[in-house]
């Protein structure tokens, strides 16, 4: 099981000008992994090999996972300033650095508090990139990802219930099992717009149909040249049901705990394993449609929050269910 990266005994300088210039803060299951790989192709941008370090929700708090109540693999996270600094040591002087951690949007209070405290010492502000998706589709995709990985034994209504979420958090389960909470965007987005002067909001639906336009919009936002060489053809970190029986067997080997995975973890670095997991998913899985009862429940659940988000952004969402 991957542990939080801990660095002790090193005197970390309080010159924090190395802190990343931009942060992709979420939301989860909105295409942030694809965006991470697309942006990483630009020579003027540096993204560390570890996606989702989740430093700003972990620093000063520690891991949100106690390892009680479950046996599935826990994602790696960086909880110390030394460990976070190490992620950016390979950055070149001419590059803007950034990282992508989807917990930052959901756990915005902790993330923003840590960002403001540390960036104030660096004398700069991060540029914030937010990816949003129809919250109905996002919640289902989030649930199906955990089903894909062998982490979610319950059906959606039971897994998403307030009672289950509360019990799991009390037992030390990760915050990412709050499928409904991750899609309540209005308060999350408003907090970032209030806290930081440079916030760019884009949408999964646009990334799906016109990825180059979305990525070039981010290049403009960050102030880097529009590179001509960019591959946006691959889809990363898909979830759903496997296409065939053979695909299902391969998916279990890649995504669910087994002895082969434990052996390969000793050979291949985390960044390589993450790339294999996220890139293979588009080949192995196809979308599984939501039951109509789930669509109706989620549509009603998110109706008021989406109305608030429309007012906050002054933007309509024609591709959304609500």
- The three-state (H, E, C) secondary structure of the chain, written as one string: CCCCECCCCCCCCCCCCCCCCEEEEECCCCCHHHHHHHHCCCCCEECCCCCCCCHHHHCCCCCCCCCCCCCCCCCCCECCHHHHHHHCCCCCCCCEEEEECCHHHHCHHHHHHHHHHHHHHHCCCCEEEEEECCHHHHHHHHHHHHHHCCCCCCCHHHHHCHHHHHHHHHCCCCHHHCCCHHHCHHHHHHHHHHHCCCEEEEEHHHHHHCHHHHHHHHHHHHCCCCCCCCCCCCCCCCCCEECCHHHHHHHHHHHCCCHHHHHHCCCCCHHHHHHHHHHHHHHHEECCCCCHHHHHHHHHHHHHHHHHHHHHHCCCCCCCCC
pLDDT number for residue 60: 85
Q: Which domains does the chain possess?
A: 22-232+302-313 (3.40.50.300)
State pLDDT tens for residues 212-251. 999 999 999 999 999 767 887 766 666 666 566 555 556 5
pLDDT number for residue 243: 60
State pLDDT tens for residues 246-298. 555 565 555 566 566 565 666 666 666 556 656 655 555 656 789 999 999 99
pLDDT number for residue 322: 81
pLDDT under 50: residue ranges of the chain: 1-11, 64-73
Q: Is the pTM of this model over 0.85?
A: no
């Amino acid at each position: 099981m991957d542990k939080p990266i801990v660095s002790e005994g090193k005197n970390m300088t309080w010159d924090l000008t190395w802190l990343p210039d931009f942060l992709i803060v979420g939301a989860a299951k909105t295409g942030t992994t694809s965006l991470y790989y697309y942006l990483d192709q630009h020579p003027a941008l540096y993204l560390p090999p570890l996606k989702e370090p989740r430093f700003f929700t972990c620093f000063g708090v520690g891991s949100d996972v106690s390892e009680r109540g479950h046996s599935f693999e826990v994602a790696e996270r960086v909880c110390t300033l030394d460990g976070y600094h190490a992620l950016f040591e390979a950055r070149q002087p001419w590059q803007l650095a950034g990282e992508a951690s989807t917990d930052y949007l959901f756990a915005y209070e902790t993330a923003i508090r840590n960002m403001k405290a540390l960036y104030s010492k660096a004398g700069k502000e991060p540029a914030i990139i937010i990816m949003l998706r129809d919250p109905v589709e996002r919640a289902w995709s989030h649930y199906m990802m955990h089903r894909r990985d062998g982490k979610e034994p319950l059906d959606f209504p039971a897994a998403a219930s307030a009672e289950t979420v509360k019990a799991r958090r009390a037992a030390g389960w990760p915050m990412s099992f709050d499928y409904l909470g991750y899609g309540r965007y209005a308060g999350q987005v408003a907090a970032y717009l209030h806290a930081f002067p440079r916030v760019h909001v884009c949408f999964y639906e646009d990334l799906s149909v016109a990825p180059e336009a979305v990525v070039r919009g981010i290049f403009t936002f960050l102030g880097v040249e529009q590179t001509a060489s960019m591959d946006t053809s691959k889809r990363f970190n898909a979830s759903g049901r496997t296409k065939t029986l053979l695909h299902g067997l391969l998916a279990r080997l890649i995504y669910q705990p087994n002895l082969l995975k434990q052996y390969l973890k000793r050979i291949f670095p985390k960044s390589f394993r993450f790339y294999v997991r996220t890139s293979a998913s588009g080949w192995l899985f196809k979308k599984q449609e939501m039951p109509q009862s789930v669509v109706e429940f989620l549509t009603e659940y998110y109706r008021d929050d989406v109305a608030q988000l429309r007012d906050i952004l002054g933007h309509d969402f024609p591709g959304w269910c609500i």
